[in-house]
Amino acid sequence: MLIVQKFGGSSVADAGRIRNVAAIIAESYLEGHEMVVVLSAQGDTTDDLLEKAAELNQAPSKRELDMLLATGEQQSIALMAMALEAMGLPVVSLTGWQAGVRTNTDYSAARINRVNTERLRRELDKKRIVLVAGFQGVNKFDDYTTLGRGGSDTTAVALAAALHADKCQIFTDVQGVYTADPRKVPGAKKLDEITYDEMLELASMGAQVLMNRSVQLAKRYGVELEVLSSLVRAPGTKVKEVSRSMEEMKITGIAKDDNVARVTVMQVADRPGSAFRVLNAVARAGINVDMIIQANGRDGTNDMSFVVAQADAEAAEKVLRQRQPAIGFADISVDKDIAKVSVVGAGMMSSVGIASLVFEALNDEHINIQMINTSEVKISCVIDAASADRAVAAIHRKFFEA
């Protein structure tokens, strides 16, 4: 079997953890599998490098930043190789370049165009454990690029797709994907399986086990993922196209995102195109808008609210104020004191009772719902931030602890 494994920065933070990971890799290798292992930079390496950079230049070019950051993963693979060598195992480490990871030229947020697998295959044919530096590649200029947040997961999935791997195991510091954040909801249950779409919704809701980008890539190429712990040897959660649990369980998880803000544009003129002009101005500033509601007023104007990432709230306000005359509205308010609670499940839409159960749970706790959004696999409610944890626990009880 050809297995791609990925270990994050905390899993390789020091010599002890590196040896622990080496033991996991060795176990799979000694079972007779072909092994490709993707590693992130050690613990705080990336932050340390960014600090060094900031001392010299507050706004360095992304090309040089990538040149600098790419060294972190290179150190990880070399050190892991040494740990495996010390166990007497055949191993070779490869940077993104050597592993054939070719990207576009978008420094610091590069996309993988293709993976040239010749070298990887050659090393696998020699029965070597192949360690690959995650998060990085090279572009058409032969310059180093990095893939942005969650880049090492993306590397792992891309390699698994290109090599037609049988498994792609993403090792993290949690034991899998849970029905809710287990640190907040004591009754949270680990899921054995989850669909790509459910995982995508959970990830975008702030359950940061896997970045959306790697899940999307896995879905596109049919790479079956497994999320599991590098500290506890136990089966994790499988992420795949159709999960066995779909028929049994209508919802898979509940997530909270309190990194959001609500922007309300007051008294927007109620004429054709007003809403478009508001949203277009925000979109052209590169800001993603999530939920939108419009409340009809009696004076021929509407109040319009939408949700953005908290970091984008000021920018959204600024761009709208600049266009206030052209758009036509009275004022803007920004509320960062909100949270988005989402219920995710592929079986949701075929079951009409889900939404009402969610509303019932919130009503039981006297939590006011400010905005509601639904999709094929998700119901999201915006509520006040202070009630968010209580809301998640209440919904979780309703669905999983009955």
Footprint on this chain of its own copies (rule: CB under 8 A): 15, 18-19, 49, 52-53, 55-58, 60-61, 63-65, 67-68, 70-71, 74-75, 77-79, 81-83, 85-86, 92-93, 95, 97-98, 119, 142-144
DSSP character for 82? H
Alpha-carbon dihedral angle through residues 23, 24, 30, 35, given to the nearest 10 degrees: -120
We find the least distance from the C-beta atom of residue 137 to its own copies, in angstroms, to be: 14
We find the least distance from the C-beta atom of residue 71 to its own copies, in angstroms, to be: 4
Give 18 or 170: the residue with its C-beta nearer to its own copies. Answer: 18
Which pairing describes strands 144-146 and 136-138: parallel, antiparallel, or unpaired?
Answer: antiparallel
Give 66 or 317: the residue with its C-beta nearer to its own copies. Answer: 66
Residues in CB range of 251: below 8 A, 6 or more apart: 179, 343, 344, 345, 347, 348, 354, 399
Give 119 or 397: the residue with its C-beta nearer to its own copies. Answer: 119
Q: Where are the beta strands (DSSP E) in 58-125?
A: 91-94, 101-103, 112-115
> Cα separation of 287 and 310, whole Å?
11
We find the least distance from the C-beta atom of residue 98 to its own copies, in angstroms, to be: 6
For residue 338, give the H/E element and its range.
strand 338-344
Give 122 or 271: the residue with its C-beta nearer to its own copies. Answer: 122
| Ramachandran region, residue 84 (left: φ > 0; alpha: ψ -120 to 50; beta: rest) | alpha
Give 129 or 263: the residue with its C-beta nearer to its own copies. Answer: 129
DSSP character for 343? E
We find the least distance from the C-beta atom of residue 74 to its own copies, in angstroms, to be: 5
Amino acid at 64: E
Give 57 or 259: the residue with its C-beta nearer to its own copies. Answer: 57
Q: Which of 143, 166, 135, 133 is nearest to 37 (CA)?
A: 133
We find the least distance from the C-beta atom of residue 135 to its own copies, in angstroms, to be: 14
Judge contact between 90 and 129, C-beta under 8 A: yes
End-to-end CA distance of the chain: 41
Give 71 or 212: the residue with its C-beta nearer to its own copies. Answer: 71
Give 53 or 109: the residue with its C-beta nearer to its own copies. Answer: 53
We find the least distance from the C-beta atom of residue 37 to its own copies, in angstroms, to be: 14
Give 98 or 172: the residue with its C-beta nearer to its own copies. Answer: 98
We find the least distance from the C-beta atom of residue 65 to its own copies, in angstroms, to be: 7
- Coil, strand, or helix at residue 70? helix
- Coil, strand, or helix at residue 326? helix
Judge contact between 118 and 129, C-beta under 8 A: no
We find the least distance from the C-beta atom of residue 89 to its own copies, in angstroms, to be: 12
> Cα separation of 269 and 361, whole Å?
37
Q: Where are the beta strands (DSSP E) in 210-325?
A: 225-229, 237-240, 253-257, 260-269, 292-296, 301-309
Give 41 or 278: the residue with its C-beta nearer to its own copies. Answer: 41
We find the least distance from the C-beta atom of residue 156 to its own copies, in angstroms, to be: 20
